[in-house]
Amino acid sequence: MDSRMYAAQAAGKQATPWRLLALLMAMTGLGPATLNILVPALPGLVTRLASDTGTVQLMLSLYLISLATAQLLFGPLSDRFGRRPVVLAGLALNASASIAAMTTSSIGALIATRVVQAIGASAGIVIGRSIIRDLFERDRAAAMIGLVTTAMVIAPMISPLVGGILDTAFGWETIFLTIAVFSGSVLFWAALALPETRPASVAQAPGRLIEEWRALIGSAKFHGYVLCGALGSAPFFTFLGGGPHVVVTLMGRSSAEYGFWFAVASLGYMSGNFTASRLSQRAGIDAMIIAGIVFELIGSIVTAVLVATLPEAGPAIIFLPQLVISYGNGLLLPNAIAGAISVRPQAAGTASGMTGFAQMATGAASTQVVMMLLSGATTAMPMAGQMLLVVVATGAAYFGLVRR
């Protein structure tokens, strides 16, 4: 397909290339789906592969590290060699690693295939955002990213259920077979339908591309948008890391009840994404980022107040305000990403990779820190305090760097 057709569609305010967006959603959802689908099988793998819990857990932690780090690689590669060949290579790598995982008999080999899986899956995340920026102007790109990032919420919600059913009924190997079929299908789909969207001038002038990269690294506004996206997502990751401990350990509730509340809170992020897809082009990305920060700030303050005044009230005191925080995150994140990859459009791939890496690295740090703070705590106040702190830091990054 000719990328000029999509560019022509993008020029009209009402035109939305839904078939292309569906493909980008599948490419983007592959990473979180591949991460979470294996979670239900991890306890069984300890005995089946004669390993221990800590070693098996590396299949999650190393996957996350690889998924974040590989984005720093695929972004510049897509700027240099094109979006299409790089993303096809990534999808093929994910499918190949999934097939190899089915034949492994040792925990070390399985961990290695998970790392390769993550590297391949990262291509869809980073390049999907770059493709959107290639085709749409900044505010319109934020609206499109809001739609595509919904896949990163739906995939983690559905994939553990699928993984649990497959592991129970057929064994853990079928989980990797399912990943291979899914990634292979997306690869085939992309090979048929994905256009090359990278500006032609970039391919013809490698020296200019290096100049664009240097200008990007030296831009305070770029770093401001990156920090907004990373710190603005940190309340969610803080909640992700501390929520189970607060609900199950401190409040004495079941994991099933936690899962129900978490699904409800996820609706807030999806609603924020939908609102961003409808309003970003009209209001502008900066107004949407400010709105997102305000919603996150209100939700964080309410959380701290409720935890301080009603510590025995149950999960509602943290989950209901989390709806507000998640809604704000849904408003903020696609607009912060669009801002970061629009500072130097000729280096959109590199910008997308750095933005994704910063978001995941900050998220990983947030989950680790909140667990350390909650160790020995009797209430959720350390978690509430950390969420409020990172929201304030988000506002400081925006007004100190973006609006400077």
Residue in this structure with the two tokens 């899962």, named with its chain if needed: 259
In 3D space, the residue among 389, 381, 333, 329 whose CA is nearest the CA of residue 365 turns out to be 389
pLDDT (average), residues 10-27? 74
Report pLDDT for 151.
67
pLDDT at 153 over 80: no
> pLDDT band for position 229 (50/70/90)?
very high
pLDDT (average), residues 5-27? 69
Residue 11: CB partners within 8 Å, gap ≥ 6?
A: none
Report pLDDT for 275.
92
Share of the chain above pLDDT 90, in %: 44
> pLDDT band for position 1 (50/70/90)?
very low
Report pLDDT for 14.
47
Question: What letter does residue 149 receive in the DSSP assignment?
Answer: T
* Range 278-281, long-range pairs (CB < 8 A, 24+ positions): 278/143, 279/143, 280/139, 280/140, 280/142, 280/143, 280/146, 280/334, 280/335, 280/338, 281/13, 281/139, 281/140, 281/142, 281/143
pLDDT at 269 over 70: yes
pLDDT (average), residues 289-309? 96
Could you give the domains of the chain?
3-198 (1.20.1250.20), 212-402 (1.20.1250.20)
**How far is C-alpha 57 from the geometric centre of its chain's CA atoms?**
20
Q: What is the pLDDT of residues 67-100, one digit of tens each?
A: 989 999 999 899 888 999 999 999 999 999 999 9
Report pLDDT for 307.
93
How many Cα atoms sit within 13 Å of 153 on the Cβ side?
26
Report pLDDT for 11.
44
pLDDT (average), residues 164-183? 91
One-letter identity of residue 398: Y
Residues 266-280: b if buried by 16+ CB within 10 A, e if exposed: bebbbebbbbbbebb
Report pLDDT for 10.
46
pLDDT at 205 over 80: no
Q: How many residues does the chain have?
A: 404
Report pLDDT for 124.
92
Residue 263 structure tokens: 């699904």
Distance between CA 62 and CA 118 in Å, rounded? 9
pLDDT (average), residues 381-398? 96
pLDDT (average), residues 272-299? 93
Q: Minimum mean pLDDT among 50-64, 116-130, 173-187, 229-243: which range?
A: 50-64
Report pLDDT for 113.
94
pLDDT at 357 over 50: yes
> pLDDT band for position 202 (50/70/90)?
low
Report pLDDT for 354.
92
Q: What is the pLDDT of residues 322-332, one digit of tens each?
A: 999 999 999 99
Report pLDDT for 174.
93
Report pLDDT for 199.
77
Distance between CA 329 and CA 233 in Å, rounded? 6
**Mean pLDDT estimate for the chain:** 86
The CB density around residue 131, as the number of other CB atoms within 10 Å, is 30
Report pLDDT for 234.
92
pLDDT (average), residues 354-381? 87
Report pLDDT for 177.
95
pLDDT (average), residues 374-398? 93
Report pLDDT for 386.
95
Report pLDDT for 5.
47
pLDDT at 257 over 60: yes
pLDDT at 2 over 60: no
Coil, strand or helix: which one is 79? helix
